Amino acid sequence: MTTEDPSPPSYWYSENREDERGARIMEAMRSYRAAEMTMRRRTQDSMAMGENELLVLRFLTRAASAHRDVTPIDLARHLGVSTASVTALLDRLERSGHLTRKSHPVDRRKVLVSTTAHADDEMRETLTAMHARMMQATRGMTESETDAVTAFLLRMRCAVANSCADAGDTCCMIARASSAASDTVSGPPVAHPDAA
């Protein structure tokens, strides 16, 4: 993989140095997203699955580690698809031996979905080396660097999801506090096109 030039994209215009730094960060994020998309395609090819199948397995794995039950409706909400689409997806994953469905022990109207040992082994075999490299990239960061990166990524998630439209979203308070601090230091923001 080649290292891309982190200079601002040609459509970005601003005389503000803070915007120039922001554009460099955005370009680095684009480069990361491109590498992540390539990795996801490799993983899909390796496991002979589509993206939604992998998203389901990841969701189920996280839910299991948190001791949370998962129903097909939970998966439909997570993926943003219809329950009929989830049923077809679960049928495929069950046939391939990656998940099981069973009745809820208390509410017999509900079905619980979980991964199989085969799915856990396959995901571990496919993803462990990459996860180790990613964790290695975080080693050596100080607590303040970790806090800064985490807060930044939370603000970016909010910006991309436009979740501040949702009343009471906690990340909106972070975004507003950051914006207020920035306005105090540098004055009113400079108008510029959307960087995404």
Judged by DSSP in three states, 103 sits in strand
pLDDT of residue 37: 86
* N- to C-terminal Cα separation, the chain: 23
33-65 burial, b for 16+ CB within 10 Å, e for fewer? eeeeeeeeeebeeebebeebbbbbbebbbebee
pLDDT of residue 99: 93
Note every long-range contact of 101-109, with CB atoms under 8 Å and residues 24 or more positions apart, other chains counting.
101/72, 104/69, 104/71
Q: Find the DSSP H helices in the chain.
A: 17-47, 51-65, 72-79, 83-95, 117-138, 143-161, 170-186
Q: Which segments in the chain show pLDDT lower than 70? A: 1-15, 163-196
Please give the Cα distance from 121 to 46 (Å, whole number): 13
**Both tokens assigned to 120:** 């856990």
pLDDT of residue 184: 47
